[in-house]
Amino acid sequence: MSLISNVLDLVGLGGITGIDILFAVMALIGTVLFLIYFILILIGGVADGVLEVAGFDADFDMGAEGIFHMLTIQGILSFIMMFGISGLAVTQSDGGDLLAIAVAVISGIFSMWIIGKVFQVMKSLEVDGTVKHSLAVGAQGKVYMEIKAGQTGQVQVEFQNAMRTCDAVLEDEKWSLDTGKFVEVVKVIGETLVVKPLSVASVMAEEE
């Protein structure tokens, strides 16, 4: 208890007794652990890896309905934090123990729900960085680096909601296409796009 007393003295709560000590300890532990967890999340999902090694599943299905929607590590930590803070606030305002417990429980559950929603939004905003070149078929763009006959050049086309620069060859290897000409992707070989001029007649006229 001496360690707890020292910590409470450090934060100006050395004179509290009874249930106030429980609220204060939960507030301190919950706040510290929640902040550590949130910081680890911000620096690249380190928290998930640590918890998986420890045998916990930190990544529940945030789209699930019902009470299990809130029972994540971050939800439990937020409950502990708000339970302690709210309960201590009530008792320090001369509220009774039963009122403090009721307010603490309600605040804790509400904080779990809020944190669940916040992490649900964060999860929905995650972007898969994998480039799926097959989605480029049918996309139109311009030649970025000249495509010479039988050789590989580069084109800029928009797919997966982004403008991307990709290696490209012409559908007819006898043709060549200068930078800036418009093309359409007809198929994909690995990560190389097979393109054709949007106006075959104009390209053949320029070749002549």
Where does the pLDDT of residue 31 fall: very low under 50, low under 70, confident under 90, or very high at 90 and above? Answer: confident
- 188-206 b/e (C-beta count within 10 Å ≥ 16 → b): beeeebbbbbeeeeebeee
* Phi-psi region at 161: left, alpha or beta (left = phi > 0; alpha = psi -120 to 50): left
Choice among 36-45, 163-172, 178-187 with the minimum mean pLDDT: 36-45
Kindly list the structural domains of the chain, giving each domain's residue range(s) and its CATH number in brackets, ordered by start.
Answer: 2-124 (no CATH), 133-200 (2.40.50.140)
Whether 203 shows a pLDDT value over 70: the answer reads: no
Mean pLDDT of the chain: 76
Instruction: Give 73-132 as a DSSP string.
Output: HHHHHHHHHHHHHHHHHHHHTT--HHHHHHHHHHHHHHHHHHHHHHHHHHHHT-------
> What pLDDT, on the 0 to 100 scale, is given for residue 71?
57
Q: What is the pTM of this model?
A: 0.46
Residue bearing the bigger pLDDT, 70 or 65: 70
Residue bearing the bigger pLDDT, 125 or 97: 97
> What pLDDT, on the 0 to 100 scale, is given for residue 89?
87
Whether 53 shows a pLDDT value over 60: the answer reads: no
Residue type present at position 165: T
